[in-house]
Amino acid sequence: MAAGSIVDVIGQTPSVWLDRLVAARGLKGRILAKLDYLNPGFSKKDRAAKGIIEAAEAEATLKPGQTVVELTSGNMGTGLAIVCGIKGYPFVAVMSRGNSVERARMMLALGAEVILVDQAQGSSPGQVSGADLALVEAEAARVTRARRAFRADQFHHAGNARAHYETTAPELWADSDGSLTAFADFAGSGGTFGGTVKGLKEKNPNLCGYLVEPEGAAVLAGNPAHTPGHPIQGGGYAMPDLDFLRDVQTDGYLTVSGDEARATVRALAQEEGIFAGFSTGANVAAALRLLQGPESGGVIGVIACDSGLKYLSTDLWA
């Protein structure tokens, strides 16, 4: 049956076993990748965008026709541009110039207003740090006040993690035929990890949740951020306290370098035909490492977070 709008087809993405990738490395176990880059906005953030806006509508904190504002690395902004466009809310995306240009162009094409914020002194294009994000946050807060807008607030709004609890977790569990023993995810807002792990642990209390961070900025694991700049866009901002992780058990931490994420996502494209982005490479690299160690013989779920099409201007595919 045909959907009433593009918003209605967010979620229910397919999952694929990465058996070729695992076998080629002589590992025992399996990795299940949920292809969230096949969402309408080409990323997992479509789920959170829909969750936040629909929760705000239900709570009447978002008024009809009110402007919506949010900071974004591009993926949440794309999801919000789609959801807000269909539902009749003007949307303003505030993004660092350090993110790939494809993201801004896609949001503009979908009808969003895009405000680009200069990076902090010493930052490099393609490497968005916590300092860069702080500048984006300040601008998003200013625009929200000036326009009396609704702030989507993906780092704090409960609709983010709830969307993954209600959709991502049960989908992954069903797609694995109830076989998952672990879940690994690169931390951005923490909403995907927090919501998905909470839902999966209700299915299997022994399932282990692993947080993935960039090498040199693993502050969630309790380490100092000595290299805050990295190419894995959409997360790893060296923010030590994320709301969505407070009431969720984290069973382990892994770090992945930009080079390892890059090499893994290229291997994923060539060996599995999955054309994804940097954070997907980080997730799969972490899962492969888990199969080499504590999860050998297990079944690990990961998210293919966004499309490789969003990185054509970066060195990911150079």
For 251-272, what is each residue's pLDDT tens digit? 999 999 999 999 999 999 999 9
Q: Provide Rg for the chain, Cα atoms.
A: 18
Mean pLDDT (whole number) for 192-208? 98
Instruction: Render pLDDT for 44-95 as a digit per residue (tens, 0 to 9).
Output: 999 999 999 999 999 999 999 999 999 998 999 999 999 999 999 999 999 9
Residues 136 and 168 in one domain: no
User: Does residue 1 sit within a domain?
Assistant: no
Residues 242, 142 within the same domain: no
Domain end position, chosen among 99, 123, 151: 151
User: Where a domain ends, among 151, 182, 204?
Assistant: 151
Domain shared by 262 and 176, yes or no: yes
HSE-CB at 66 with a 13 A cutoff on CA atoms is 18
Closest CA to 284 of 254, 252, 313, 242: 254
Specify whether 307 is catalytic: no
Confidence of residue 239 (pLDDT cuts 50, 70, 90): confident
Q: Which of 15, 43, 44, 45 is catalytic?
A: 45
Range of the domain at 82: 45-151
Look at residue 228 and tell me if it is in a domain.
yes
What is this structure's pTM? 0.95
Task: Classify residue 316: in a domain, yes or no.
Answer: no
Average of pLDDT values for 116-145?
91
Is the pLDDT confidence value at 228 over 80? Answer: no
Give, in order, the Cα–Cα distances in Å from 164 to each of 45, 62, 158, 159, 252.
10, 21, 11, 9, 20
Q: What is the pLDDT of residue 243?
A: 95
Tell me: the pLDDT tens digits for 7-25?
Answer: 999 999 999 999 999 999 9
pLDDT bin (cut points 50, 70, 90) of residue 169 is very high
Q: Does 136 share its domain with 212?
A: no
Asked if residue 242 has pLDDT above 80, the reply is yes
158 within domain boundaries? no
As a residue count, the chain comes to: 318
Residue that finishes a domain, picked among 151, 180, 214: 151
Whether residues 225 and 298 share a domain: the answer is yes
Chain segment 266-309, per-residue pLDDT in tens: 999 999 999 999 999 999 999 999 999 999 999 999 999 999 99
Mean pLDDT of 126-144: 91
Read off the pLDDT of each residue in 180-204 and give the average, rounded to a whole number. Answer: 97
Give domain status of residue 172, yes or no: yes
What whole-number distance in Å separates Cα of residue 311 and Cα of residue 289? Answer: 25
Is residue 38 located within the same domain as residue 170?
yes
Q: So what's the pLDDT on residue 33?
A: 98
Angle at 286 between CA 282 and CA 291, to 5 degrees: 150
The count of structural domains within the chain is 2
Active site residue 5: no
Choose the catalytic residue: 15, 279, 307, 310. 279
